[in-house]
Structure 1
């Protein structure tokens, strides 16, 4: 690897290798999978050198930008891992409402940069999530029910292909690669060095409501939430988090919390959009009720991160569904009964019905999104809790339309994440741009 300066690449067994490997996973459950070499790229030349080495030595290639994959799908035995977290550039053109950003740019950092210029982008909900993996897998983010998954706002990409060629792709140039880059996630067969983004005006107001219910009214709460799916104002992110304790809210026991932001043109509009939470038939059983309060993104980022602690071990799985509450409740009760300690949680999100989407690999979504996040601190509990998310989602898979790649568990539970037509187009594009299979694909697929 003469083309790579010392200190920017680590072979397995080198000093610094294990620190570099573990550093690509945000939580403590780092899989026992070991790339042959890790390249900490700082520019396109590093990437090309890594690809050249992989090709010459018969290794496949994986890519990581921020390491927020719960499954750490970027860690593969014997592969060359390209760590792009140092490609964190960002250039904002406020007049034209566009930006050019690197895959290693943190989404929350971009949001702060944009807010300072009175702009907005549907960035991810968690601090630490970088734009590379987030945008490739689809990107459910702030105000995405209005602006769509973030990949719809990707208007172009700079990509290094399997043969080391540096190209720009968009709707007119290399359209098949552009199609694939918007939804293929960890199965994308190229290295994105820059994303070109469409930006939006910053919403004038962000408001929030908070309602917390005990678990013994779960039937009533989830039946109500399912019944009003089509009525929820699209400016509202109607989400419910069930967990065993919520000390940050002063709740010691199990609770189901609807904490939902609304982005609007005025405080009055936000408050009106959130009024639907008062229609819950057991609203009088709420142990915490805040119909409305002004909020902002920094406050929301802080709140979200109470559920994702980097000193814990994590597992996740998910499903899209249009099933009725009666069909879903047996599975929900099992989820609640078997849930590991907090901050483990069950997320219910009212997402659709959604408008028609652009022509892109991201091609499966439905009215409701369910996701499970199991967490614990002791490695001795891996067997006890490690399959909580996967087994519960497997039990409900008959009600699923598919999954979202953001919280995938494909290595343990293959599931459908794109339409049959989209998968056929992805396979055809892969055969064109990566005919020798240099880039590892998903860890599982149906």
Structure 2
């Protein structure tokens, strides 16, 4: 019998509870949702014991590995919150080109540790994200156009089920549970204690381009980006970031930044792959024009995190679409017109959907991904800014294929993130592994 660790169990109202609750939320906008009990597990035995405790006491269970969910969907009123962020083991097998990693392993640390060994994994673009939530929700990361979303690199998982059973699932063992784990995100009905993932040889060259355009040529820039997106080399990430200024560059006016990484086998190939991003018809209007420069993964992480400072209150929303530029531009103009101050941002990313991913829970991808990130510091501005992302995405929802769970806003704007067939299959698998709905599903409503 495993006794639950009293020093890492926090009951609502007791000392340490609020600190433990807030420690599971990276967002400065901490929801007013309060589990009855929070447990910080350090190993599988404790997780099994926690699930037994929840079952015996009729508690629902939420799971958190890193707290980077924008909506903090793991925080629910009542029940048990199981924090597995301390399961952060990492074992790399270079002979088999696999790694065994815990859900609490920081994805950016994992990526940089592999990078130092000449290896690679499509970890997320932001620092601090833990692998648990990232892999379960699909995992769009570095070089994902070439190697696929990170969930495709998950070869197997160790899972504690709703009845406290420890199982290993892969394509041959508990294949339905394995299927469900690759894309269901916060709707997954089990506790992952370890992932077995495929790792890759690191591409020899990592480079980037950088173009900055004044907002006055927004129509031309977005129309161009929409036209070339499907033709871009898979090793290039087409990324347009629109902000009301770039403080780090001393730019105060609204600007569209085309900052695209490339992964290739040589500097020459990298520069050639990025050449298409210099073809914008208004490139002569660019404030900054850098067709190619070598860089490092560490530098990219530092650059990305300049747009996501800690201490801010964030609300996000997103959509996949195949709509034309003419269809998208009215909504984009409204986004640009109403955009809150930096570091709020609008991101347009090119994506390469694949027919073989249609059967994944992560299944509503399309040619273009649009994401809005509202960020503000003062709680007095909550009413002013809280609905900007959701209202603008709602206004364009008729053009949407679906959303990504990475930037979901389901508690404020319900939207589809998988096909009806996949959702029906997911419900069937859930009824088998969690018939009593012990685990919380996706958060619907505040």
* 1:403 alignment partner in structure 2: 403
Contact 2:314/2:373 (<8 A) preserved: yes
1:358 is displaced (CA, Å) by 7.1
Does residue 30 of the first structure (1) align with residue 39 of the second (2)?
Answer: no
1:432 is displaced (CA, Å) by 0.1
State the TM-score, normalizing by the size of structure 1: 0.98
The structure 1 segments of at least 4 consecutive aligned residues displaced by more than 4 Å after TM superposition are none
Deviations 1:38-82 (A, max 9, x none): 110101122122212222222211111111111110100002111
Does residue 223 of the first structure (1) align with residue 210 of the second (2)?
Answer: no
Deviations 1:247-300 (A, max 9, x none): 222322110001000000000000000001111000011001111100110000
- The 2-side partners of 1:359 and 1:258 are apart by 32
* 2:187 alignment partner in structure 1: 187
* 1:94 alignment partner in structure 2: 94
- The 1-side partners of 2:322 and 2:359 are apart by 22
Question: Map of 1:50-61 to 2, 5 A cutoff?
Answer: 50-61=50-61
Deviations 1:305-330 (A, max 9, x none): 01111111000000000000111111
Contact 1:62/1:80 (<8 A) preserved: yes
* 2:166 alignment partner in structure 1: 166
- The 2-side partners of 1:164 and 1:129 are apart by 27
* 2:4 alignment partner in structure 1: 4
Deviations 1:162-185 (A, max 9, x none): 000000000000000000000000
Gaps spanning 5+ residues in structure 1: where?
none
Question: Map of 1:60-75 to 2, 5 A cutoff?
Answer: 60-75=60-75
1:353 is displaced (CA, Å) by 4.5
Question: Map of 1:30-429 to 2, 5 A cutoff?
Answer: 30-354=30-354, 356-357=356-357, 359-429=359-429
- 3-state SS of 2:423 partner: helix
Size of the alignment, in residue pairs? 445
- 3-state SS of 2:260 partner: strand
Q: CA RMSD in A?
A: 1.3
Contact 1:230/1:353 (<8 A) preserved: no
- Which range moves more in the overlay, 56-65 or 120-129? 56-65
- The 2-side partners of 1:171 and 1:154 are apart by 10
State the TM-score, normalizing by the size of structure 2: 0.98
- The 1-side partners of 2:385 and 2:50 are apart by 37
Contact 1:354/1:367 (<8 A) preserved: no
- The 2-side partners of 1:382 and 1:103 are apart by 32
1:352 is displaced (CA, Å) by 2.2
From the superposition, tell whether residues 388 and 358 of structure 1 become closer, same or farther in structure 2 (CA, over 3 Å): closer
- The 2-side partners of 1:392 and 1:252 are apart by 24
- The 2-side partners of 1:12 and 1:224 are apart by 54
1:128 is displaced (CA, Å) by 0.5
- Which range moves more in the overlay, 42-51 or 301-310? 42-51
Contact 2:182/2:360 (<8 A) preserved: yes
- The 2-side partners of 1:79 and 1:422 are apart by 28
Contact 1:348/1:369 (<8 A) preserved: yes
- 3-state SS of 1:332 partner: helix
Deviations 1:170-204 (A, max 9, x none): 00000000000000000000000000001110110
- The 2-side partners of 1:259 and 1:13 are apart by 47
1:118 is displaced (CA, Å) by 1.2
- The 1-side partners of 2:31 and 2:299 are apart by 32
1:355 is displaced (CA, Å) by 5.2
Gaps spanning 5+ residues in structure 2: where?
none
